[in-house]
Amino acid sequence: MSVDVGGIVVHLEHLTAEKQAVLVEQVRRIVRAAPLFRPEMPSGRKMSVRMTSAGTFGWTSDRAGYRYERQHPNGMDWPPMPPIALDIWRDVAGVARDPQSCLINFYDGDAKMGLHQDRDEADMEMPVVSISLGDEALFRVGGAKRGGKTQSIWLKSGDVAVMGGAARLNYHGIDRIRANSSTLLPNGGRINLTLRCVD
DNA sequence: TAGTAGCC
DNA sequence: CACT
């Protein structure tokens, strides 16, 4: 089953509990090798989410701006893309290319992400695929410009959202995490994986 | 001063 | 609203 939220197709209950558990294990391995960090934004503030990446490119930011890098801030190459994430992309993205980046965002109960566009990628014909694991998150979607109407939906563990076509540049963000709404992650919180082509 | 992967 |  899927729903349309501001042009973004959200596949609900797309991943089995088994697949979610395996994906969590693959993410754990990545985080052990490439520790979570809290990027600084161009404004000088630190983001509330912690993040790391897998694949050829990882997303990061600092006072110099938002961008993709080939290495973790500690100097290592990013670990390989988690195999299940690649399977999911091939199932839902509808394009011939494979993703080059898997951004892993970790939200604790207080973490949020303001409305923003994903526009650090070269080819806007390539969709962005977002996978939710763990606690539920209030996801808000607007249009391609700031200030318009927005819609919200609670994303649950295992949901997969595809932001493509007309929705590729829609503003979106996370307003709230519902703590303890899932038992998938032993220590609670939410993991979001975002798969993208970068260059 | 305008804009904000913000903050309350 | 406060920060850059």
Count of domains observed in chain A: 1
Q: What pLDDT, on the 0 to 100 scale, is given for residue A38?
A: 95
Per-residue pLDDT of chain A (199 residues; tens, 9 = 90+): 777 887 788 877 689 999 999 999 999 999 999 999 999 999 989 999 999 999 999 999 999 999 999 999 999 999 999 999 999 999 999 999 999 999 999 999 999 999 999 999 999 999 999 999 999 999 999 999 998 899 999 999 999 999 999 999 999 999 999 999 999 999 999 999 999 999 9
CATH of the domain at A182: 2.60.120.590
Nearest-CA neighbor of A91 among A182, A2, A183, A191? A2
A126 touches strand B (CB under 7 A): no
Q: What pLDDT, on the 0 to 100 scale, is given for residue A77?
A: 98
> Which of the nucleotides lies closest to A42 (Cα–C1')?
C4
Task: Using DSSP bridges, classify how beta strands A151-155 and A136-141 pair: parallel, antiparallel or unpaired.
Answer: antiparallel
Residue nearest B7 (alpha carbon to C1'): A114
Quickly give A33 CA vs C2 C1' distance in Å.
Answer: 38
CA-based angle A45:A50:A54, to the nearest 5? 125
Host domain of residue A128: 2-196
The whole-angstrom separation of Cα A194 and Cα A85 is 9
